[in-house]
Amino acid sequence: MKDIVLSINNVTLNRLKGNDKDQLVELANNIKIWKNVCDFFPQPYTVEDALSYIDFVNNQNPYQNFAIRYKGRFCGMIGAEPQADVYKFSAAMGYWIGEPFWGKGIASLAVKLLTDYAFDSLGMVRIFSSVFDFNEASKKVLEKNDFKL
């Protein structure tokens, strides 16, 4: 499948590559990340988890999950999962940024890029995201992108 590249300023969303494996493991194997994502996110995050995830996302059609890159470096993941049945035009969005990249505005730009992609290319009419009540940074990311509580 052709690589989709979405970019704004120093933030790029594109296909997760096999050579992202080590950085994926390093950044994802962080209890602070794990405490803010869904239960299916493994902890500890192993090389086997990374390889399985890379295979999973690269076999999606249409492509729904993207590597987030900041100045060309892998720094996290973002995705929009279309829902089923009568909710098929709604997508659940999830994202995480590796701790060394926090506070740089990366997540806000990634959410903008993915939201535009989901509406324009995936045909979504509604995008939602769940946030733990203690995750103020993620709430601000979504509010900056006009999401409503």
- The CATH number of residue 47's host domain is 3.40.630.30
Could you tell me if 126 and 144 are in contact, meaning their C-beta atoms sit under 8 angstroms apart? no
Asked, for residue 41, whether it belongs to a domain, the answer is: yes
Asked, for residue 1, whether it belongs to a domain, the answer is: no
pLDDT of 40 reads 83
Domain total for the chain?
1
Q: Return mean pLDDT, the chain.
A: 94
What is the Cβ-side half-sphere exposure of residue 39, based on CA atoms within 13 angstroms? 0
Average pLDDT over residues 50-55: 95
Asked, for residue 110, whether it belongs to a domain, the answer is: yes
Helix or strand holding residue 136 (H, E): helix 136-144
Q: What's the pTM value of the predicted model, to 2 decimals?
A: 0.93
pLDDT confidence tier of residue 1, bands split at 50, 70 and 90: low
Asked, for residue 30, whether it belongs to a domain, the answer is: yes
pLDDT of 93 reads 97
Asked, for residue 65, whether it belongs to a domain, the answer is: yes
Q: pLDDT by residue (tens digit) across 106-141?
A: 999 999 999 999 999 999 999 999 999 999 999 999
Q: Which residues contact 146 (CB under 8 A, 6 or more apart)?
A: none
Domain containing 71 equals 6-144
**Can you tell me which residue has the tokens 């990340």?**
33
Q: Is the pLDDT of residue 67 over 80?
A: yes
Give percent of the chain with pLDDT exceeding 90.
Answer: 84
Asked, for residue 101, whether it belongs to a domain, the answer is: yes
Q: Is the pLDDT of residue 2 over 80?
A: no
d(CA 147, CA 91): 13
Asked, for residue 149, whether it belongs to a domain, the answer is: no
d(CA 40, CA 20): 20
Angle among Cα 127, 51, 45 to the nearest 5 degrees reads 75
d(CA 66, CA 68): 6
Asked, for residue 61, whether it belongs to a domain, the answer is: yes
d(CA 60, CA 67): 14
